[in-house]
Chain A
Amino acid sequence: MIDKQKKIIYFDHAATTPLSKKAFESMIPFFMDDFGNASSLHVLGRKSAFAVTEARAKIASLIGAKTNEIYFCSGGTESCNWAIKGFLDKGTHIITSSIEHPSIMAPLKELEQKGIKVTYLPVYKNGIVKPSDLEKAITKDTALISIMFANNEIGTIQPIKELTAIANKHKIPFHTDAVQAIGSMAINVKDLNVDMLSLSAHKFYGPKGIGALYIKGGIRPNKLIHGGSQERTMRGGTSNVAAIVGCCVALEEALNNLDDNSKHIRVLRNTFIDRVLCEIEHCYLNGDRDRRLDNNANFVFDFVEGESILMMLDLNGIAVSSGSACSSGSLSPSHVLLSLGVPIESAHGSIRFSFGIGNTMDHINYAVDKLKETINKLREMSPLFLQVKGDSKFV
């Protein structure tokens, strides 16, 4: 990290991805040449408006939506906040999962204080919701169900189609936070039968600061951002034209190369998981091994703390993320890992590796070697780790 020339091995694609060259190039004209406000009537405005309209239509077709069902906004957090806050009135009930992203959890916590009832469905050891639990949780007051498509920490994929079938039977609107999944999986909103879906461009090699909420025709959430008449009056604010164009190009590129990319990343990820589980003692993979995003591996390493693993890997030029309390600035470790039943002291030792198209098998092998060194070094330092005749245990 001190040596700026040093090449970073980036294993944090669930946090964000580098912008694709194609997406970047598509954005450039809209910063200085075609800079018009898409709401302006003159030629520059019309040029921008045309670009936004085209991007909207393309993105819609890529996820099986109609053009007028895509609403651009500032990203995943706004999109999720909108779906939640736009839908709930006092006295109603919402069902969600216990492993949602903070952009769902935080608005729900606020609404709970205003009297909204929230049911958090359990996810069990594999990190997956049981559809029968959803069926049981529905009440006559249930106004919305929001369950993420794939988890940001452990990558587990929820059975959305089974869940929407239940929601549909009870005529309850269904939102899914698909921020981690879009661009890594083929997703069709009609096929899934979701009413709302959140996406964010920077997770699929698009620019930061742009996302969208898919809202099925006939569904009318309240506005979250009040202002001008952009987004068919549903979301005020000057259209972020360059970002919208970049989002569209990145999504198209990701989905065009989906099979090749998925295969490449899956091979790397599987090799990584196999080597780590085989070569490092007292370590566990969090979440279902198969029903997870291709790019995700999340481990607990007993007897050591996650942030120190992260920092030591960083010193070796490897960028990862941790679910430990110390890296989040809060006192308790990841709510996702605790929901899986991971003991609190182990949850402090969790590390997420999320792979991407730029990674290679050399990266994987180098990282496993460095990870082994790191874990050994930190365990030697740890008062929890005692090696007695080859046995290791908590003391």
Chain B
Amino acid sequence: MYNEKVIKEFSDPQNVGELKNPNGVGTVGNASCGDIMKLFLRIENDIIVDVSFKTFGCAAAIATASTATRLIKGVTIEDALKVTNQHVVDELGGLPSQKLHCSVLAHEAIVAAIEDYKNNKINDK
């Protein structure tokens, strides 16, 4: 069902945990659906200098969250917003069809965290 790349990402996920000083946090999904993804961003000069995640969910949810953090680390928020669920799926070499929603969740988490960052910035002014 899962390919080796997904298994590898799941067994050794990157950027797990909570950042100490995030300035953008996005939470998507809910426990009753069995999937929650929380993304923490540290953004400086519109560049994502640090990123981490916490996930409640299946192996695919963990693998896609880990992949998403790898794809957006060190990039501008503009470029991070261009990371689609398809990019995440491609990076993992494909996902089973019933698991594609996990990659959608990863994309939504990026959008939500950057949205949060932008709102914080407005409020700070």
Interface residues of A (CB under 8 A from B): 1-2, 303-305, 307-308, 311-312, 315, 324-327, 329, 331, 333, 344-345, 348, 380-384
Q: List 30 A-B contacts (CB under 8 A).
A: A2-B4, A2-B7, A305-B34, A305-B35, A305-B57, A305-B58, A308-B59, A308-B61, A311-B10, A312-B10, A315-B11, A325-B34, A326-B34, A326-B58, A326-B60, A327-B58, A344-B31, A345-B34, A381-B13, A381-B17, A381-B54, A381-B55, A382-B54, A382-B55, A382-B56, A383-B36, A383-B38, A383-B54, A383-B55, A384-B31
Q: How far apart are the CA atoms of A382 and B58 in the complex, in Å? A: 11
Q: How far apart are the CA atoms of A2 and B38 in the complex, in Å? A: 30
Q: Which of A305, A312, A331 meets B56, CB within 8 Å? A: A305
User: Are A333 and B34 interface neighbours, CB within 8 A?
Assistant: yes
Q: How far apart are the CA atoms of A342 and B119 in the complex, in Å? A: 38
User: Are A348 and B98 interface neighbours, CB within 8 A?
Assistant: no
B83 lies within 8 A of chain A by Cβ: no
B7-23 interface code vs A (CB 8 A; 1 in, 0 out): 10011010011000000
State how many angstroms separate the Cβ of A345 from the closest Cβ of chain B: 4
A305 / chain B contacts, CB cutoff of 8 Å: 34-35, 56-58, 61
State how many angstroms separate the Cβ of B7 from the closest Cβ of chain A: 7
User: Are A384 and B56 interface neighbours, CB within 8 A?
Assistant: yes
**Which residues in chain B, 18-69, are within 8 Å of chain A measured between CB atoms?**
27, 31-38, 54-62
B38 / chain A contacts, CB cutoff of 8 Å: 383
Interface residues of B (CB under 8 A from A): 2, 4, 7, 10-11, 13, 16-17, 27, 31-38, 54-62, 98-99
User: Are B4 and A348 interface neighbours, CB within 8 A?
Assistant: no
A1 / chain B contacts, CB cutoff of 8 Å: 7
Most chain-A CB neighbours within 10 Å: which of B33, B34, B98? B34
Q: How far apart are the CA atoms of A102 and B41 in the complex, in Å? A: 44
| A328 (CB) vs chain B CBs: closest residue | B98
Q: How far apart are the CA atoms of A110 and B35 in the complex, in Å? A: 30
State how many angstroms separate the Cβ of A326 from the closest Cβ of chain B: 4
B55 / chain A contacts, CB cutoff of 8 Å: 381-383
User: Are B59 and A331 interface neighbours, CB within 8 A?
Assistant: no
User: Are A383 and B27 interface neighbours, CB within 8 A?
Assistant: yes
| B18 (CB) vs chain A CBs: closest residue | A383
| A385 (CB) vs chain B CBs: closest residue | B56
| B2 (CB) vs chain A CBs: closest residue | A311
Most chain-B CB neighbours within 10 Å: which of A307, A326, A329, A380? A326
**Complex A-B, nearest 6 residue pairs according to Cβ-Cβ distance, in ascending order:** A345-B31, A326-B58, A307-B58, A383-B54, A348-B34, A311-B59
Q: How far apart are the CA atoms of A141 and B98 in the complex, in Å? A: 41
B36 / chain A contacts, CB cutoff of 8 Å: 383-384
Q: How far apart are the CA atoms of A381 and B9 in the complex, in Å? A: 14
Q: How far apart are the CA atoms of A307 and B35 in the complex, in Å? A: 11
Most chain-B CB neighbours within 10 Å: which of A311, A333, A384? A311
Q: Which of B10, B27, B56 meets A303, CB within 8 Å? A: B56
Given contact pairs A380-B17, A382-B55, A382-B56, A324 touches B11 in the complex (Cβ within 8 A): no
B59 / chain A contacts, CB cutoff of 8 Å: 307-308, 311-312
User: Are A344 and B32 interface neighbours, CB within 8 A?
Assistant: yes
B31 / chain A contacts, CB cutoff of 8 Å: 344-345, 348, 384
Q: How far apart are the CA atoms of A303 and B54 in the complex, in Å? A: 12
Q: How far apart are the CA atoms of A157 and B45 in the complex, in Å? A: 63
User: Are B34 and A324 interface neighbours, CB within 8 A?
Assistant: yes
A348 / chain B contacts, CB cutoff of 8 Å: 31, 34
| A348 (CB) vs chain B CBs: closest residue | B34
Q: How far apart are the CA atoms of A326 and B55 in the complex, in Å? A: 14
| A324 (CB) vs chain B CBs: closest residue | B34
Q: Which of B7, B32, B37, B62 meets A315, CB within 8 Å? A: B7
State how many angstroms separate the Cβ of A347 from the closest Cβ of chain B: 9
State how many angstroms separate the Cβ of B59 from the closest Cβ of chain A: 4
Given contact pairs A2-B4, A315-B7, A315-B11, A383 touches B56 in the complex (Cβ within 8 A): yes
User: Are A381 and B98 interface neighbours, CB within 8 A?
Assistant: no
| A303 (CB) vs chain B CBs: closest residue | B56
Given contact pairs A308-B10, A380-B17, A324 touches B58 in the complex (Cβ within 8 A): yes
Most chain-A CB neighbours within 10 Å: which of B10, B11, B55, B59? B59
User: Are B32 and A304 interface neighbours, CB within 8 A?
Assistant: no
| B62 (CB) vs chain A CBs: closest residue | A308
State how many angstroms separate the Cβ of A308 from the closest Cβ of chain B: 5
User: Are B62 and A381 interface neighbours, CB within 8 A?
Assistant: yes
User: Are B57 and A308 interface neighbours, CB within 8 A?
Assistant: yes
Q: How far apart are the CA atoms of A381 and B33 in the complex, in Å? A: 18
State how many angstroms separate the Cβ of B56 from the closest Cβ of chain A: 5
